[in-house]
Amino acid sequence: MKIIEIPVLEEDNTYRFMIQLRLETFIAKVYRSRNACSVYSFREYLKKVLKWPVYEQIFKVDVLKNNA
């Protein structure tokens, strides 16, 4: 089993504690899961459970203007 796309945040980042808690919860959920996948995406999990502005702050999603 492999968990990919785990964000690495600085020590003073306001979301660091929340991400650590969410990661522990996600790992526990994966271990309890009946369907066994070989790769799990933590980023996709966060996309489902976080509010979009928080997700954007963590992953710093850039929107391209005018296809540039």
pLDDT the model gives residue 37: 85
Q: What is the pLDDT of residues 40-53, one digit of tens each?
A: 999 999 999 999 99
One-character DSSP codes across 9-53: --TT-TTHHHHHHHHHHHHHHHHH-SS--SEEEHHHHHHHHS-HH
Look at residues 10, 11, 40 and name the one whose alpha carbon lies nearest to residue 26. 40
Query: Could you state, in order of their start, the residue ranges of all structural domains in the chain?
Result: 2-59
Q: What is the mean pLDDT of the chain?
A: 89
pLDDT the model gives residue 63: 62
Q: What is the pLDDT of residues 23-32, one digit of tens each?
A: 999 999 999 9
